[in-house]
Amino acid sequence: MVKELQVLVVGALGKMGRETVKAVKGSDDLVLVGAVDVKAVNARISDITGDENDRLMIWQDLDLALDSLELDVVVDFTNPQAVFNNARSVLRHGIPCVIGTTGLGDREIKELDELARENHTGVAVIPNFAIGAVLMMRFAEEASRHFKDVEIIELHHDNKLDAPSGTSIKTAEMIDRNRPGTPSAPLGQFEKYPGARGGQVNGIRIHSVRLPGLVAHQEVLFGGQGQTLTIRHDSYNRESFMPGVILTLQKIVDIKGLVYGLEHLI
Catalytically annotated residues: 156, 160
Task: Give the sign of the dihedral formed by CA 216, CA 174, CA 135, CA 79.
Answer: negative
**200 touches 206 (CB < 8 A):** yes
User: Can you tell me the distance from the alpha carbon of 24 to that of 34, in angstroms, rounded to the nearest whole number?
Assistant: 11
Look up residue 264 and give its amino acid. H
CA gap 45, 98 in Å, rounded:
20
| 163 Cβ neighbours under 8 A, 6+ residues apart | 199, 208, 210
Quick one: which H or E segment has residue 31? strand 30-36
Distance CA 241, CA 9 (A): 15
